[in-house]
Each structure stands twice: as C-alpha cells, then as structure tokens.
Amino acid sequence: MEQPKNNIKIIADKKNARVILPNMLTLIGVCIGLTSIRFALSGEFHLAIIAIIFAALFDGLDGRIARLIKATSKVGKELDSLTDMISFGVAPAFIMYFWKLNTLGRFGWLLCLVYVICVALRLARFNVNSGQEPSWKDNFFEGVPSPAGGILVLTPLIISLTEFDYIQLNYDIIVPIFFISTSILLISKFPSYSFKKIVIQRKTTIFLLFGIVLFFGLLLIYTFEVIAISSIVYLLLLPISFFHYRKIKKSQENDSTQDEDDLEDIL
C-alpha cells in the first residue's frame, strides 16, 4: 500500500517579503548606533561620530526604500522609532558623557537624562501625528527631528576634532548649552524644514547631482570639517524655516478666509 506523499508548500506573502529589506536596514542602524557607544568607551570618539553619521544615513534610507517598494508596515514604523531612540538619543548622550559631561559630575548626567527623555517625547509625538492627512505642513517638522538633534549635541565634539585651530571654545560651557538648547528644540513646536518634498526642475538636475557628488567627496577628505559646517548651516536654517512657515501659514489662512467670503448666504 502506497503511503500518501506529504507535499509541503511554503507560500510567502509578497508584501511580507518586501518588508524584510527596510527592516534589515533599520536593524543595521541599531547595530551601528550601539557600536558608536563601544567606540566612545574605548576613547575612539572620531569613530563614534562616523558611526552616528552612518546610522543617520541608514535612517534616511530605510523609510524611503520602504515607500519606494511599497513595503511600509506598523512594525517597521515602531522599529524605526526604537532605532532613533538608540542611535540618536542614547548613543549621543553616552558619547558626550564619556567625552566631557562626566567632568561636570551629577549635572552632566542630568543633562544626558533630560536629552534622552526629550528624544523619547519627540518620537512619541511624531508617531501620533504621522497618521494625519498630508498637507503643506509636511514640508516642516514640528520641532527638530531626532537624527538632527543627535548630530547637534555632538557638534562641540565634532568641532574639537577639526583642524580649526584658531577656534578656542570653553567646552565646559558650550556642551551644556548645546544639550539644553537641543532638548528644548526637540520637544518644541518650532517648525523646521523636513526636506521631504523638494521639487527640482529637470534642467537643474545635473547641478544637483554635481553638488551631491562634491559634498560626499569633501566629506571623505575633510570629514569632521564638513560635518561641523553642515551642523552650523542647519542651525542657521532654523530661523529661516520659522519665518517661511509663518509666511505660508498666513497665506493659507488668508485664502481660507477669502473662500468663506465668496460663499453666498441664500438663507
């Protein structure tokens, strides 16, 4: 008597298969963020900075790739927030504590705690507001995003690693200022550019590509100088984004008021 054959078929959902790639990139970002703490423990702060920069690159890639291949998921969203918490909250706080804040005693540790809590609050608010309908406000973040905040608090350390020998800074004062200011910006409703919807004309695409290649070329040669200048440029963009937001908001309110005035009351 013949035994029945057990034909086992494994059917994988196409969407679940697509989700693997962005989630893998997110988990790689977690590993890089944790590795930056290991570099800081051994005093290799230059490698710790580079690890955070790579974590930021992976953080930017995973979401865009997920939207590109239509592989967004609730698990990926929560995983991305946990990654940001580690790579741009816990890791920068530990790096700066091992570098300078440990010399400030309990106050230095308090600054680390406050910053990490503000990153957690920022991510929680982002997750709550991210489900809203798209509008012109998508061009702006509510407060400074966590990756930018993680790099901003590292700016004093980055400057110390540059060849700007003519800059003499009192890091015992500068570091707490950066921690307090960045923590406030994270949980504030200060509008900052999101750079999500950038429209480039076709004829200027070649110049954009040239600029990107030039930026990464300079980043490879003058790594910490380029990162420090980029952080300063981002800080200078904050007041510009504030006034730009106010201008667009006022214009939208005026258009809404005009539309209401154009309606005729027939009752």
Taking only the tens of pLDDT, the chain with its 267 residues reads 455 555 555 444 555 666 787 788 888 989 999 999 999 999 999 999 999 999 998 888 877 777 777 767 777 778 888 889 999 999 999 999 999 999 999 999 999 999 999 999 998 888 777 666 555 567 788 889 999 999 999 999 999 888 776 778 888 899 999 999 999 999 998 888 877 666 667 777 888 888 889 988 998 899 899 999 999 999 999 999 888 888 888 887 776 666 555 544 443
- Per-residue pLDDT at 60: 82
- Per-residue pLDDT at 10: 47
Sorted by where each begins, the domain ranges of the chain are: 14-249
For every residue of 194-239, DSSP letters joined together read: ---S----GGGHHHHHHHHHHHHHHHHHSHHHHHHHHHHHHHHHHH
Those residues with Cβ within 8 angstroms of residue 213's Cβ, 6 or more apart along the chain or in another chain: none
- Per-residue pLDDT at 142: 85
Q: Rounded to the nearest 5°, which phi and psi values hold at 80? A: -65, -40
Q: Taking a C-beta distance cutoff of 8 angstroms, is the pair 191, 140 a contact?
A: yes
Half-sphere exposure of 97 (CA within 13 A, CB side): 22
Q: Taking a C-beta distance cutoff of 8 angstroms, is the pair 48, 95 a contact?
A: yes
Q: Taking a C-beta distance cutoff of 8 angstroms, is the pair 89, 150 a contact?
A: yes
- Per-residue pLDDT at 109: 94
Q: Which residue has the tokens 């507001």?
A: 129
> d(Cα 60, Cα 68) in Å, to the nearest integer?
13
Give the CATH number of domain 14-249. 1.20.120.1760
> d(Cα 226, Cα 229) in Å, to the nearest integer?
5
